[in-house]
């Protein structure tokens, strides 16, 4: 892009780069305001929306439901929990959220810690119900059997 110094709009001097930056900033402000307006409208009118907005409300509800389902499935697969405050995924052994600092429910973390087992070969947390370690491939039942034999 070339800088065209000396261009004036309403007796103000602008160059091309400054105008492009100003346009981007104002576009972002507009996008943020419309997003906020849409969220506010949804929260206030989701149960009594005007007919013209009914399908949009239904789309938001459907996407929200799917997001919750996918988030729960992801958390289970990754052996994580989701912060109730900000939605960040954290290790199920964390006591505080790494994003917002919220104290995580001690009931959740205690129950998950007490049920957590680890691979005796590599120390990686074992997935609930898994027969093999996802990190090193060791058979978890053999590891548990060896552990039981060594404690006898």
d(CA 124, CA 131): 13
Residue with the larger pLDDT of the pair 3 and 99:
99
Task: For residue range 65-120, list pLDDT tens digits in order.
Answer: 998 888 878 877 788 888 888 888 888 888 899 999 999 876 544 444 445 677 77
Task: For residue range 48-61, list pLDDT tens digits in order.
Answer: 989 999 999 999 99
d(CA 85, CA 71): 14
Percent of the chain with pLDDT over 90: 34
pLDDT at 51: 92
d(CA 32, CA 12): 27
pTM: 0.48
């Amino acid at each position: 892009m070339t800088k065209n110094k000396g261009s004036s709009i309403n007796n103000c001097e602008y160059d091309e780069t400054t105008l492009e930056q100003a346009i981007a900033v104002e576009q972002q402000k507009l996008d943020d305001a419309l997003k906020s307006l849409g969220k506010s409208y949804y929260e206030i009118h989701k149960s009594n929306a005007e007919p013209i907005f009914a399908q949009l409300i239904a789309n938001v509800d459907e996407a929200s439901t799917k997001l919750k389902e996918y988030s729960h499935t992801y958390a289970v697969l990754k052996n994580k929990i989701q912060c109730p405050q900000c939605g960040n995924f954290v290790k199920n052994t964390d006591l505080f959220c790494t994003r917002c600092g919220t104290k995580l429910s001690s009931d959740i973390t205690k129950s998950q810690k007490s049920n957590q087992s680890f691979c005796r070969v590599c120390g990686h947390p074992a997935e609930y119900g898994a027969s093999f370690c996802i990190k090193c491939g060791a058979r978890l039942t053999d590891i548990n059997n060896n552990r039981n034999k060594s404690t006898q």
